Structure 1
Amino acid sequence: MGRKNNKNTKKGKRKGSQKETYKGRLEITRSGMGFVIVEGLESDVLVRPPDFNTALNGDTVRIHVKPNRDGKRMQGEVVEVLERKQLEFIGKLEMNKGFAFFVGDSKNRMPDIYIPEKNFNNANENDRVVVRITEWEQGTGKRPVGEVVTVLAAEDANDMAMKEILLENGFPLEFPEEAMEEAARISDVIPEAEINKRRDFRNTLTFTIDPVDAKDFDDALSIRVLKNGNYEIGVHIADVGHYVEEGTALDEAAYTKATSVYLPDRVNPMLPEHISNVLCSLRPHEDKLTFSAVFEMTPKGAVKKYWLGKTAIHSDHRFTYEEVQEIIEKQEGHLLDEILLLNNIAQRLRKKRFDSGAINFSSQEVRFKLDETGKPIGVVVKESKESHQLIEEFMLLANRYVAQHVSEIEINKKPLPFPYRVHDLPSEEKLLPFMAFARKFGHKFDMSSPEKIAESFNQMLEDAQGKPEQHVLEQLGIRTMAKAVYTTENIGHYGLGFENYCHFTSPIRRYPDILVHRVLLGVLRDNIKPDKKMEQKCKHSSERERAAMEAERAANKYKQVEYMQNFLGEEFEGVVSGVSAFGFWVETVEHKCEGMVSITTLSDYDDFRLVDTEYALVGMRSRRKFRMGDKVRIKVVAANLEKRQLDYEWVLSTTAESFENNNVVEEAPKKAKRKKKKSTED
């Protein structure tokens, strides 16, 4: 097997032969064959359909593996399904007398689901429905049994697509009835006795700053001047833990999702609307319960003291980011002095962060403008401005101080289990080729320490500002970075330059924040109960975060394809956003929509090969390059909504400039008679 002492491995006898047991995730291909991915194993384990034992694509399973003596791929069988990725599916009903079979739309093969008549829920023959599996006995060979959850409107293709994306990624469309009942029973009235237990900020100037379309206001800021000339700045976070008690059906439903999912036309919330948008949302002119980090700060942004604890607030005003940005730029408006003061301190905190080793990657968010039916009618590019940075810096401050406070606590000479948000150093494997590429543009890297690497990144980003290579260096630089995750092993956050960091500030939409609140409350009340399952909860939260990102990416891709259907046959300027052996991706400048130019459509021009060190496709005869960041002209040739796929075709320019831009000095070969375009859809 090539591994010893694997923590996922148990050995035991079965049917007279030695077999090893592993835990992993099952992936089922379109052909129906399964592969179990086991962390730490060099290769995946092959599982044939008869050995799935009720496991479905994405499920976490326990498998027995036959001894691998002949050097062939390891084969195994599922002996237990540990965790279902998905229990709800979209498909159609095929009716029989007294029962129906549900046939799923999933690209990954799955058995039909038996639906007894009592579970039809008013569905009819051939209706498109959402079905939930209610029972499925392992080891019996029986079909799964299910119930119709929702009948879908056949004409609403967008709604169906968004729901399918959520379900594919393991996010249920509805909350369990028991969780909804618990949420409905929670009173909107805050007892005076509860407020009396807390530090009262209701008479301190407090406000929120959020996106214009936000309904769940997680955080608020308060500010007052102290007698010594310093400022008391409060970062107040919705006290979700007060309403969502550990071990309840509501808590279980929130943990299962672990995050809200933000799609172009909807939010799939982690918590029921009554909690996220009413009870916990820090709406203006209402008393609210909060968990706060309160700082005494000098006008220059130095923290003199801090206090952590439960509070009550009364928000005086609700700002949008746009309103605050206008106040900052025009130097006029409501609460001008307070906004400018907080912005000044935030910018000082930001500068100090970057001076201390945080990496300054710029961020750009692309959103679609939708009509009333959800169809995309335009693109909006949102950039991080000072109003966003104002909130960001104070949230980072609170997150850092909470993590720092808990990191000092030990139980039996061991660190208290706590869900840190960590970010590892970039791997040498990814960093070395990137450094070689950056060197071609004159950027040098100092590898002598992690701090020097971060310093080199920042210097490169500053020097590349406004230059043609800026976009490609930023994109490739981000790809060299490790992924941030939740874990009890506190290795610090490299990208932010923090030794201690956690997520405390968004408990309405992130489950790890609820975990942070619970641990912190135990510390503050000197009632610490170490959670032995904390690392398992961290891994689950990290996995759900990745699934949410996949869902958001798939939904945005669907909207891109839907939008670009309007422009079939039209030509646009674009930027090469990725390269591979089978073609290159282009993002249009005007719409920020990414599509693939297949290498098969380039065969008339030259024999193009991938050159990894150049991040480019290079013509073997002309030496013409399609390199990440290069500007190209493309034609939209196909837009497949079902596959969420855009196909572009490169448009040859006859101007010499187009070749100079790609580092080619000789004349490119003349284009032969164009062959019929092969679609990349397959």
Structure 2
Amino acid sequence: MDREELLSLMRTRSYRPMTAAELLDALGVEDEEAFRELLKTLEQEGYIVRTRKDKYGLPEKMGLASGFLQASPRGYAFVVPREREQADVYISALNLNGAMHGDLVLARILPGTMGRRQEGEIIRVLQRANRRVVGTFTSTRHLSFVVPDDPRLHQDILIAPDNSLGAREKDKVVVEITRWPETRRNPEGRVVEILGQVGRPGVDVLSIIKKYDLEPEFPPEVLREADGLSKNFSTRELAGRRDLREWRLVTIDGADARDLDDAVSLELLPGGNYLLGVHIADVSFYVREGSALDREAFNRGTSVYFVDRVIPMLPPRLSNDICSLNAGEDRLAITALMTITPRGTVKSYELFPSIIRVRERMTYDAVRRILDDGDPELQERYRELVPDFRLMARLAAVLRQRREKRGAIDFDFPEAKVELDDQGLPVAIIPRRRSVAEGIIEEFMIAANEVVARHLYELAVPAVYRIHEEPAPDKMEELNKFLGYFGVQVRPNREGRVKPAAFQEILVNFKGRPEERVISTVLLRSMMHARYAGQCLGHFGLASPFYCHFTSPIRRYPDLVVHRILRETWSPAGLTPQRLAELEAFVARAAARASEREKMAEEAEREALDMKKVQYMERHIGEIFSGVISGVVPYGFFVELENTVEGLVHVSTLADDYYHYQEEQLALVGEHTGRVFRIGLPVEVLVARANVEARQVDFELVKAEDMTAKGQGTAASQKGIKKVKKSRKKTVAGGDRARRKVSGQRGRKRNKDSRGRS
């Protein structure tokens, strides 16, 4: 009896809560001890609930909800159920009952809230998420406490005098919680590490590293294992590998990349077909299953990239040296060799182990300057490779057109590169859009990932797939409500299913318009987050039925697992039934762990980048910047600058009128003037404040293009203006315009990047 069988039974309509003994009898389970342990595990993980009468059932069938608590800095929170089809449950600050952001909790649904937005109260904390917290130490004459860096942790942590570790005022510290919060009582803790004074170089990023429980250093046994590996290959190790060392292979990466795990080659075959080679570092040759290196890589899941440093999944001995496809050095690889027609169809392919030698280490910028700018110096320097680059650009365009034709959604958000000085302070923010060079690598990596995923699926062997599910119905309802303001909708097909082409059509319609960035952001937020799974469920965003991650085994654990499974399929002995069962169980665990670690890495990277952006704006207080309104809320509107920094213009700073939020228009409308502030409006703003601790920038409006005066307001917005003038609502409190609270937080999801992270 496994967990899925038990949960499937409980999901049937006829099931009524049973005791463990009744379940044992009904299911005919022989191993009672193992079964009771399974019940205990599922209860701890929130999948099932044990009643006071020791009967087991599903939370959702008992007026309960289990899931992770997502808190807001404003005090309230939501329980996000693990079962994706269930709605989030709103929890007021008064009903948290000692639960903290990130905890796995059990909530009781409050009477009278079923059928609309569900509200609940926390009745049990199943697993604590914040055993250690990073914050700022402060003290008074009688009391010391730590203010958490994470604004979603609402309560300060009390520190007894003998638990301070000698911390001083304004020290960044790591505190271990010794007593969890209660309804009317703050948590208590002890300082276990002092990171340094606020404002000291490097302390800012170090605080984020500690906050997300990242570990820059590797355990001694892992380093010893890495140091024991050799670059040299014996004849035995090369047996069965195809020798491609004379091929013209190049790597194309960012200038500061050190872990080069993919190389490409391309030639035009007689008859017009392309022969595309995607050659990936054979990390699985060095990192063997069950080794210390493997266990550490499983735990880390992914490399984490900050503005000023990298926390790698594998030790530098591997990630930057032995496995990295450095130019001019022999390296072991796994090659995907694809014959592609002029229309972009993969006609045939081969997957095999190889030995390669990269001809040149190219950068995105150099390839762009060769192809787009015709840089004469670079064209001369790489004259042997220039025809290859031109051919690569041609094939990438063909592959891209084919993806677009099948309906793939292409979000082209600019990525911000922050340049730092010697003290780690930001001196410039440079927005970078995807160039022809990034496009080449993205298309080639997607092609290889699809081929490998289809290959494994057709072999019917277990694998870790990269999946992206269709948007949830409630998200589609919210999205269409927003899009209705712009006169468009995402419409389902005849079967009632939403296809990615419907999203793509909207993106094309808004290309080049002021609202393009905002429309893209809202469309992206409405979609599910891509994740790893042991089942091949397809990739909605790429409009691909088969997709996995194969191309980055140096920095992503799922890719390493895929390499290992490929290697096993090449073994003459094949995969035994027992091995297939072992892999089935393992890929489920590996997929869950990798998804969890990827989400953590995204949050840490985003927070560090946002912090550096705010530090940059701190140096520009009082200066004026151009931007576009990117979001409107009851208390003001958000403005995104050309350098990708986003800040808030609070409604209280708009002194020319009383402004009211028109939810159906997503606009602020002036009561007397009829002036409209809506998404996409170009504005000029002055930087008023920059709060690094809160990661927040405040703007004040200097000038805005008057859309209504120019006749550019929509019929819907004009209707909204009349409605406000007619009602003439006036609410003044303390001299400020009326303010309404908004539920939900603005956030961004990482888009796919040029390394095939879709």
Length-normalised TM-score, structure 1: 0.81
Report the counterpart of residue 597 of structure 2 in structure 1.
544
Structure 1 position 375 matched with structure 2 position 425:
yes
Q: Distance in 2 between matches of 1:146 and 1:556?
A: 27
Structure 1 position 421 matched with structure 2 position 470:
no
Report the counterpart of residue 606 of structure 2 in structure 1.
553
Structure 1 position 477 matched with structure 2 position 523:
yes
Structure 1 position 358 matched with structure 2 position 358:
no
Q: Which amino acid is the alignment partner of residue 616 of structure 2?
A: Y
User: How far did 1:539 drift?
Assistant: 2.6
- The answer (yes or no) to whether the contact 1:418–1:516 under 8 Å persists in 2 is yes
Superposed, which structure 2 residues align to 1:57-456 within 5 Å? 58-60=102-104, 73-78=120-125, 89=134, 105-107=148-150, 108=153, 109=155, 128=171, 148=193, 152-154=195-197, 157-223=200-266, 230-298=273-341, 301-329=344-372, 330=374, 332-333=379-380, 334=382, 335-410=385-460, 416-432=461-477, 434-435=479-480, 438=483, 446-448=491-493, 453-456=499-502
Cα shift readout 1:279-327 (whole Å, capped 9, x = no counterpart): 2111001111112211233455443321112221111111111111222
User: How far did 1:369 drift?
Assistant: 2.1
Change (3 A) 1:277 1:377: same
Superposed, which structure 2 residues align to 1:613-628 within 5 Å? 614-628=665-679
Change (3 A) 1:143 1:189: farther
Instruction: State the secondary structure of the residue aligned to 2:518.
Output: helix
- The answer (yes or no) to whether the contact 1:86–1:167 under 8 Å persists in 2 is no
- The answer (yes or no) to whether the contact 2:274–2:341 under 8 Å persists in 1 is yes
Instruction: State the secondary structure of the residue aligned to 1:531.
Output: helix
Report the counterpart of residue 685 of structure 2 in structure 1.
634
User: How far did 1:466 drift?
Assistant: 2.6
Match of 1:578 among 631, 634, 640: 631
User: How far did 1:597 drift?
Assistant: 1.6
Give ranges in structure 2 of 5+ residues lacking alignment: 1-8, 13-41, 60-64, 114-118, 181-186, 726-731, 741-758
Change (3 A) 1:235 1:430: same
Cα shift readout 1:104-150 (whole Å, capped 9, x = no counterpart): 75553586799999x98xx987795765979999xxxx9989965xx
Structure 1 position 650 matched with structure 2 position 701:
yes
User: How far did 1:212 drift?
Assistant: 1.0
Instruction: State the secondary structure of the residue aligned to 1:651.
Output: strand
Q: Which amino acid is the alignment partner of residue 408 of structure 1?
A: E
Q: Distance in 2 between matches of 1:346 and 1:209?
A: 14
Cα shift readout 1:429-468 (whole Å, capped 9, x = no counterpart): 4445645655665657553258985444434333433333
Report the counterpart of residue 10 of structure 1 in structure 2.
48
Q: Which amino acid is the alignment partner of residue 465 of structure 2?
A: Y
Q: Distance in 1 between matches of 2:488 and 2:705?
A: 32
Instruction: State the secondary structure of the residue aligned to 1:157.
Output: coil
Q: Distance in 2 between matches of 1:469 and 1:658?
A: 19
Change (3 A) 1:184 1:133: farther
Give ranges in structure 1 of 5+ residues lacking alignment: 95-100, 411-415
User: Aligned-residue CA RMSD in angstroms?
Assistant: 4.5
User: How far did 1:12 drift?
Assistant: 3.6
Change (3 A) 1:5 1:618: farther
Length, aligned pairs only: 649
Cα shift readout 1:487-512 (whole Å, capped 9, x = no counterpart): 22322112111110011111122222
Structure 1 position 595 matched with structure 2 position 642:
no
Q: Which amino acid is the alignment partner of residue 404 of structure 2?
A: F
Report the counterpart of residue 544 of structure 2 in structure 1.
498
Change (3 A) 1:451 1:287: farther
User: How far did 1:174 drift?
Assistant: 2.8
Instruction: State the secondary structure of the residue aligned to 1:491.
Output: coil
Q: Distance in 1 between matches of 2:276 and 2:231?
A: 28
Q: Distance in 1 between matches of 2:189 and 2:198?
A: 29
- The answer (yes or no) to whether the contact 1:113–1:133 under 8 Å persists in 2 is no
Change (3 A) 1:622 1:192: farther
Instruction: State the secondary structure of the residue aligned to 2:552.
Output: coil
Q: Distance in 1 between matches of 2:237 and 2:534?
A: 32
Q: Distance in 1 between matches of 2:480 and 2:75?
A: 42
Instruction: State the secondary structure of the residue aligned to 1:609.
Output: strand
Q: Which amino acid is the alignment partner of residue 455 of structure 2?
A: H
Q: Distance in 1 between matches of 2:735 and 2:622?
A: 16
Q: Which amino acid is the alignment partner of residue 492 of structure 2?
A: M
- The answer (yes or no) to whether the contact 1:114–1:146 under 8 Å persists in 2 is no
Instruction: State the secondary structure of the residue aligned to 2:619.
Output: helix
Structure 1 position 515 matched with structure 2 position 553:
no
Q: Distance in 2 between matches of 1:191 and 1:30?
A: 58
Instruction: State the secondary structure of the residue aligned to 1:540.
Output: helix
Q: Which amino acid is the alignment partner of residue 645 of structure 2?
A: C
Q: Distance in 1 between matches of 2:638 and 2:396?
A: 38
Identity of matched residues, %: 32
Q: Distance in 1 between matches of 2:535 and 2:248?
A: 38
Change (3 A) 1:67 1:125: closer
Length-normalised TM-score, structure 2: 0.73
Change (3 A) 1:586 1:423: same
User: How far did 1:93 drift?
Assistant: 11
Deviates more, 1:234-243 or 1:660-669: 660-669
Instruction: State the secondary structure of the residue aligned to 1:567.
Output: coil
Change (3 A) 1:320 1:240: same
Change (3 A) 1:164 1:60: farther
Cα shift readout 1:72-96 (whole Å, capped 9, x = no counterpart): 9444344666xx66757466699xx
Match of 1:489 among 524, 529, 535: 535
Q: Which amino acid is the alignment partner of residue 564 of structure 2?
A: R
User: How far did 1:262 drift?
Assistant: 2.0
Q: Distance in 2 between matches of 1:379 and 1:542?
A: 30
